[in-house]
């Protein structure tokens, strides 16, 4: 496995604030990796250090085995699609795309040919003469992509490139980017705060928080086996129930002495630890009669939310907590608001994590 981009114990400090904290990361050649995290997690800083726009305070950055830590951006074999595209406003689309080739001294004839190819690849040949301000956001995005790819870099850095597009266009561009990446075989490093986007496109995702990589893995792995409560909550939706571990078993004692059973406990979980038990809404099932499983709770349906093909139930638990349950709409039957039900789930879909205060994306207390 040849690592194309390698970060070794890289740190970056802005005064007292540690933007990137001792991060090591090896990115396989030709892979599509996303750096995912809330704003301020350090993902853009990492991208900028690979691009050469920030110099790390500690650690080494290697591209194709070569140490480029202190190298200027114009000496690196990487190209970037910037957050707001950063198209040169005083040049038309074709001139924008040609700019990088001009810097490399590519002869005029070949330059012309490659610019055409690049514009054709992103289906923007018709707009070659347009200035950026005459193009829509999606079109600017394509020009920015062509401008970066025309130089045939070994690594393409994408800094939240879809952030400014509307939902429909974003989903379309996700597919196109993924296709393009597999055709060209270039390493894509993609920064985003949108977990759906990361799940849809990536071979692997590095979830970041407070300047550190919290977990690195394939999308399914992160979704099914999150390493921490933060990752569990950040990727997809999650119900969290606080409680205490019973000895070093997979049992958890929750509020009102309810006992829940899990199949998996996060690594490093101590005996009798304060824990968060997590179950995803789609794994929370509803029944009218008391089910014969251990993980069950009596609840009242506080609200129903129609999400298109799925139905979401907001369940009020005794004590004031809420629990979410989702199921396909046709399976949801007739469960009116206010009805008393039993919520239950399998131990297979229940994970225990060390307790932590989570700000966003968790079942409300």
Partner 1 sequence: MTAPPKHRPTNGGRIVLLAWMTAIFVFLYLPILVIVIYSFNGGRNLYVWTEWSTHWYGEAIDNPRALSALLVSIRTALINAAIAVALGVFAGIALARRKGPWTIPYIALIFVILGIPELVSAIGQMIWFDRLGIFDGIIRLSIGHSLFNVAVVALIVRARAEGLGESLEHAAADLGALPWRSFLDITLPLMFPAVLAGLLLSFTFSFDDVIISLFVQRPGTSTFPIYILSAMKAGLKGDVAALAVMMLIVSMVGIAIAAWLMARGSRGKTLGGLLG
Residues that bind partner 1 (CB under 8 A): 51-53, 72-74, 78-80, 82-84, 86-90, 99-100, 103-104, 147-148, 151
Q: Shortest gap between Cβ of 141 and partner 1 (angstroms)?
A: 14
CB closer to partner 1 out of 159 and 197: 159
CB closer to partner 1 out of 104 and 340: 104
CB closer to partner 1 out of 103 and 136: 103
The DSSP secondary structure of 173-208, one letter per residue, reads HHHHHHHHHHHHT-EEEEEES-HHHHHHH-SEEEEE
Give the separation between CA 111 and CA 150, rounded to whole angstroms: 9
Give the separation between CA 26 and CA 18, rounded to whole angstroms: 21
CB closer to partner 1 out of 102 and 298: 102
Give the separation between CA 322 and CA 284, rounded to whole angstroms: 12
Q: Shortest gap between Cβ of 29 and partner 1 (angstroms)?
A: 20
Per-residue b or e along 55-71, where b marks 16 or more CB atoms closer than 10 Å to that residue's CB: ebeebebbbbeeebbee
Q: Shortest gap between Cβ of 6 and partner 1 (angstroms)?
A: 20
Closest CA to 45 of 11, 94, 5: 11
Tally Cβ neighbours within 10 Å of residue 187.
Answer: 24
Residues 6+ apart with CB under 8 A from 46: 7, 10, 20, 23, 25, 35, 191, 208
Give the separation between CA 42 and CA 129, rounded to whole angstroms: 37
Q: Shortest gap between Cβ of 112 and partner 1 (angstroms)?
A: 17
Give the separation between CA 359 and CA 154, rounded to whole angstroms: 38
CB closer to partner 1 out of 87 and 297: 87
CB closer to partner 1 out of 88 and 244: 88
Q: Shortest gap between Cβ of 111 and partner 1 (angstroms)?
A: 13
Q: Shortest gap between Cβ of 116 and partner 1 (angstroms)?
A: 18
Give the separation between CA 223 and CA 246, rounded to whole angstroms: 26
CB closer to partner 1 out of 161 and 243: 161
Q: Shortest gap between Cβ of 208 and partner 1 (angstroms)?
A: 22
Decide: 136 and 87 in contact? Cβ < 8 Å: no
The DSSP secondary structure of 90-153, one letter per residue, reads TS-HHHHHHHHHHHTT--HHHHHHHHHHHHHHTT-GGGTT--GGGS-HHHHHHHHHHHHHTT--
CB closer to partner 1 out of 163 and 291: 163
Q: Shortest gap between Cβ of 50 and partner 1 (angstroms)?
A: 11
């Amino acid at each position: 496995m040849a690592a194309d981009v390698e970060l070794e114990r890289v740190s970056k400090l802005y005064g007292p604030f540690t933007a990137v904290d001792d991060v090591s990361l090896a990115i396989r050649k030709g892979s599509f990796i996303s750096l995912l995290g809330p704003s301020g997690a350090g993902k853009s800083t990492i991208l900028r250090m690979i691009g050469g726009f920030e110099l790390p305070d500690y650690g080494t950055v290697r591209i194709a085995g070569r140490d480029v830590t202190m190298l200027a951006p114009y000496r690196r074999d990487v190209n970037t699609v910037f957050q707001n595209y950063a198209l040169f406003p005083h040049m038309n689309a074709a001139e924008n795309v040609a700019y990088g080739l001009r810097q490399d001294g590519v002869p005029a004839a070949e330059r012309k040919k490659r610019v055409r190819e690049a514009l054709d690849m992103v289906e923007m040949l018709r707009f070659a003469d347009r200035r950026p301000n005459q193009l829509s956001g999606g079109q600017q995005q394509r020009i920015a992509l062509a401008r970066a790819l025309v130089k045939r870099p070994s690594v393409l850095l994408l800094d939240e490139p879809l952030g400014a597009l509307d939902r429909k266009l974003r989903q379309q561009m996700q597919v196109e980017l993924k296709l393009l990446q597999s055709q060209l075989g270039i390493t894509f490093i993609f920064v985003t705060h949108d977990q759906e986007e990361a799940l849809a496109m990536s071979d692997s995702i590095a979830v970041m928080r407070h300047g550190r990589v919290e977990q690195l893995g394939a999308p399914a792995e992160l979704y099914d086996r999150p390493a921490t409560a933060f990752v569990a909550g950040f990727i997809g939706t999650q119900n969290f129930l606080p409680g205490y571990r019973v000895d070093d078993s997979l049992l958890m004692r929750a509020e009102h002495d309810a006992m829940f059973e899990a199949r998996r406990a996060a690594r490093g979980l101590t005996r009798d630890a304060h824990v968060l038990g997590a179950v995803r809404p789609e794994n929370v099932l509803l029944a009218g009669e008391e089910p014969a499983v251990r993980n069950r709770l009596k609840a009242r349906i506080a609200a129903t939310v129609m999400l298109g093909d799925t139905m979401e139930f907001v369940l009020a638990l005794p004590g004031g907590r809420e629990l979410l349950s989702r199921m396909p709409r046709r399976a949801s039957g007739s469960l009116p608001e206010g009805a008393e039900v039993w919520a239950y789930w399998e131990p297979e879909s229940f994970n225990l994590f060390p307790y932590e205060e989570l700000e966003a994306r968790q079942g409300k207390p």
